[in-house]
Homo-oligomer: A and B are copies of this chain.
Amino acid sequence: MNQQFFSTPVSLRQTAVTDDFWNRAIELVRKEVIPYQWDAINDRVPGAAPSWCMRNFRVAAHLMRDKRQKGAAFVPPSYTFRGFEALPEDPAHPEEDRFYGFVFQDTDFSKWIEAVGYSLARHPDPELEKIADEAIDLVCAAQTEDGYLDTYYIINGMDAALTNLRDHHELYCLGHLIEGAVAYYQGTGKDKLLKAACGFADYIADRFGPEEGKCHGYPGHEIAEMALVRLYEVTGEERYLNLSRYFIDQRGQEPNYFIQEERDRAARAGQVLRRPSTDPAYHQAHKPVREQDEAVGHAVRAVYLYSGMADAARLTGDKALFEACSRLWDNIVRKKLYVTGGIGGTHVGEAFSYAYDLPNDTAYSETCAAIGLVFFARRMLQISPESRYADVMEQALYNTVLAGMALDGKSFFYVNPLSVVPEACERDKRLQHVKHVRQKWFGCACCPPNIARLASSVAQYAWTESEDILYTHLYLGGFVEKRFGDQTLKLDIASRFPWDGHVVATIHAEQPVNGTLAFRVPGWTDDARVSSDKERRDRSGYVYLTGRWQDGDTVVLDFPMPIRMLTADPRVREDIGKVAFTRGPITFCAEEADNGANLHLLRVDRTRLELPGEGLSIKPQTTFGHHTLALTLPGLRQPLPEEGALYHPFAVPDEEQVTITLIPYYAWANRGPGEMSVFIRI
C-alpha cells in the first residue's frame, strides 16, 4: 500500500470516448436505455413488470405536502408538480396512498439519474435535463422534514423505519441515492439532489454509531459504504467517511446485528424467535471484515462491500482493511471467477458458491455482480495500480457486463450462463433462473440500469489520476485531459480495442508539460512493446513514462493479441477436458447459429490445430451491426445415431471434421434462440 501510487477517477468532463466499440455502447445507453428506463420507472413499458418507482415518490410527495401544509417548516426550494402525468391506470386499481413494488424500488430512480448524470456530463441534452430536474423535484418533495428519504416507510409509516436493515434496504436506497446525486451534480453542476442525499445521509449519521442509544447496525445490502466515500470526496465532509467506516467496522461483529434485529422484531410482535432465519454469510456479516478471506454470500452485495472497503482503506491508509480486500480479491480471482469475468456460481442466494464450483449451465453470474467486480477492481487499481486488477476489470467489462445488454440496447440478461440449451431452460425447472433470450425489464430492475450507469461512465474506469500521474488502464479510443500543475495535457488515444492491440497515444499540449503517463500492459499479451522517448520504469504491469511532454509526442503501444486456448484449473470439475478461447480482452463462445445444435458433440481437433493452414484463425464478423471478429478452429463432431438403445457398448465415435466458429461472448443471443457454449471439449 504505497500512497505514492494512489489515484482517483478522472472527471467525465475531461474525457471523450469516440471509438467504434465503446461509443456504440454509450450511445445505445443514451439513445435507448435511458429513455426506456424513464418509461419503465413510470410504468409505461407495455408488457414489462411495473416499477411503481415514480408513482411511489408521487404518493410520498403528496403525503409530505399535506403534512407541510399543516405547518411544517421544511419546503423543498423549487418543488413543482409540473411535468408529471396523471397516474397511469393499472389493472389492479391500487389505492392512491399505497406503496407498491419491492422495498428498494426507489433505487430505480437513483440508478436512472446516475446514468443521466454521466450522460449529461458529455452530452448536453436540455430536454433530458428538464425531465431529470422535474423528477428530482418530485423525489425531493417526498423527503421528510428531518431528511429521511425512503418512500416505503414514508408511505407505510415511519414507526418501523430502520428496524429491518437486513431486508428492507433503506441503507441500500441511501447508497444509490448518493451515487445518483453525485453523478448528477458532477454531470450538471446542480446540487438539489445532492443536498437531499446529504440530508438523508445526515439523518442516518445522526442515528448510527458506537454511542449508546444509537443504532449499531449496517446495511443488509451493501453499497452505502462506497457511496458515502464518494459523498465525502465530493463534499469534503468527514462524517460521511466516518459513517462508511462505521458500517464497515461494525459488520460481522458479535453479537450479530441482523440476528439481534430479527429477535427484536419478533419481540415487538410478541413472539419469541426460536431459530433465526438470518444467514450472516449471505450478507458478508459472518465475521468482522478484516478477518474475512473467502468471498461468500450474495455476490453483488459482496463486491459492493469490498469496493467500499477498498475506498475506505485508500482514504484512511488502513492497511489491515486493504489486506482483507487483497485476500478477498485473490479468493475471487483464483477460485470463483468465470472466464467471462462473471462471478456467482449459484442462483441459491444469487451467491458465490464454494471454491472451484463454477457450473456453466446453472451459473448465476449476475450482470450486476460483474459490474460490482469492475467497481472493486478499479478501487484496487486506485490503491495499487497492478495490471492483474485491470485484467479482471477488463475481462468483466468486455464480456459479462456487455453480454447483459442486447446489441440493440432493448433487452437484458440478469443471469449470464456459460452454456445454454434452450430446451433445457424451458423444460428444466432447475434452470428457471437462466433465460436464453434477453428480457425486457425486470420487476427487480438492477441489471439494466446498472449497465447504463457503468457504460456511461466507462471512461472513469479507463483513466485514473494522481497529482503527477495519469493512468491508462483500458484502451478506449478517445481522449482524456489531465492537469499537471498549471498545464493541461490532452492524451488522445487511437485504438481499435478489443480487436487490435496496436494503440497510438498522441499528446496535445499548448505548453510542454512535465508529468508521468502510466500505461497498463495487459496480462493476456506476451510480447508487449512500448515506444516512447521518455524515461521508462516498469512496475506491476504498468509502464511509467516520465518526462517533458510536447504537443505531438506519441507513445506507440503494441499488445499482440494471440488467440489463447485456456483450460481451467482441474479443480473446476465442470471444465475438465474442456477449453475456452480468448483473444485480447474478449472471451469467445460457440453458438448454434454458426455451429448447429448439440454443441456438446463438438470437440477441438487437437491434431489439426498444429497443421499449417488448419489452426486457429480470425475472421471479420459483420452480422452484429458493428465490427467484430470471429474465431475459427478445426473441430470434430460426433454424429447423432438413430434413436434407439440408451446405452450401448463403447466404440470410438466416427467423428466428422468440421470448422468450429466462435463469436464474442458479449454478442451471443442476438440472432434468435439457440445453444451457446463457452467451453468446448478437447
Residues of chain A having any CB pair with chain B under 8 Å: 333-335, 337, 339, 346-349, 353-354, 357, 362, 421, 423-424, 427-430, 564-573, 576-577, 579-580, 598, 600-601, 603, 606, 638-641, 643-653, 681-682
Q: By the criterion CB–CB under 8 Å, are B645 and A569 in contact?
A: yes
CB-defined contacts of A646 to chain B, threshold 8 Å: 333-335, 337, 339, 568-569, 572
Q: How many copies does the complex hold?
A: 2
CB-defined contacts of A421 to chain B, threshold 8 Å: 573
Contact of A566 among B423, B424, B568, B648 (CB under 8 A): B648
CB-defined contacts of A653 to chain B, threshold 8 Å: 570
Q: By the criterion CB–CB under 8 Å, are B568 and A647 in contact?
A: yes
Bound state CA distance, A428 and B347, in angstroms? 10
Q: How far is the CB of A645 from chain B (nearest CB, A)?
A: 7
Q: By the criterion CB–CB under 8 Å, are A565 and B346 in contact?
A: no
Most buried by B among A569, A580, A651, A653: A569
Bound state CA distance, A421 and B681, in angstroms? 22
CB-defined contacts of A428 to chain B, threshold 8 Å: 346, 348, 353-354, 357
**Closest B residue by C-beta to A651:** B567
Please name the 10 residue pairs, one residue from A and one from B, whose CB atoms are nearest each other, closest first: A348-B429, A354-B427, A566-B647, A565-B650, A567-B650, A573-B600, A579-B650, A576-B600, A569-B646, A570-B638
Q: By the criterion CB–CB under 8 Å, are B429 and A334 in contact?
A: no
Bound state CA distance, A653 and B606, in angstroms? 13
CB-defined contacts of A645 to chain B, threshold 8 Å: 334, 569
Q: How far is the CB of A343 from chain B (nearest CB, A)?
A: 12
CB-defined contacts of A564 to chain B, threshold 8 Å: 649
Bound state CA distance, A291 and B565, in angstroms? 50
CB-defined contacts of A569 to chain B, threshold 8 Å: 641, 643-648
Contact of A346 among B348, B354, B429, B568 (CB under 8 A): B429
CB-defined contacts of A639 to chain B, threshold 8 Å: 570
Contact of A649 among B347, B566, B648 (CB under 8 A): B566
A-B contacts, 14 of them at CB < 8 A, read A334-B645, A335-B646, A346-B429, A348-B428, A353-B427, A566-B650, A567-B650, A569-B641, A569-B648, A571-B640, A573-B600, A576-B638, A577-B577, A606-B652
Q: By the criterion CB–CB under 8 Å, are B682 and A650 in contact?
A: yes
Bound state CA distance, A400 and B104, in angstroms? 48
Contact of A681 among B347, B571, B576 (CB under 8 A): B576
CB-defined contacts of A606 to chain B, threshold 8 Å: 652
CB-defined contacts of A568 to chain B, threshold 8 Å: 646-647
CB-defined contacts of A353 to chain B, threshold 8 Å: 427-428
Most buried by B among A354, A362, A647: A647
Q: By the criterion CB–CB under 8 Å, are A567 and B430 in contact?
A: no
Q: How far is the CB of A95 from chain B (nearest CB, A)?
A: 20
CB-defined contacts of A641 to chain B, threshold 8 Å: 569-570
**Closest B residue by C-beta to A335:** B646
Q: By the criterion CB–CB under 8 Å, are A349 and B572 in contact?
A: no
Most buried by B among A347, A570, A576, A650: A650
Bound state CA distance, A571 and B362, in angstroms? 19
Q: How far is the CB of A155 from chain B (nearest CB, A)?
A: 27
Other A-B pairs, 14, CB within 8 Å; known A566-B647, A576-B638 = A334-B646, A348-B428, A348-B429, A421-B573, A566-B650, A568-B646, A569-B646, A569-B647, A570-B600, A570-B653, A571-B643, A576-B601, A577-B577, A580-B647
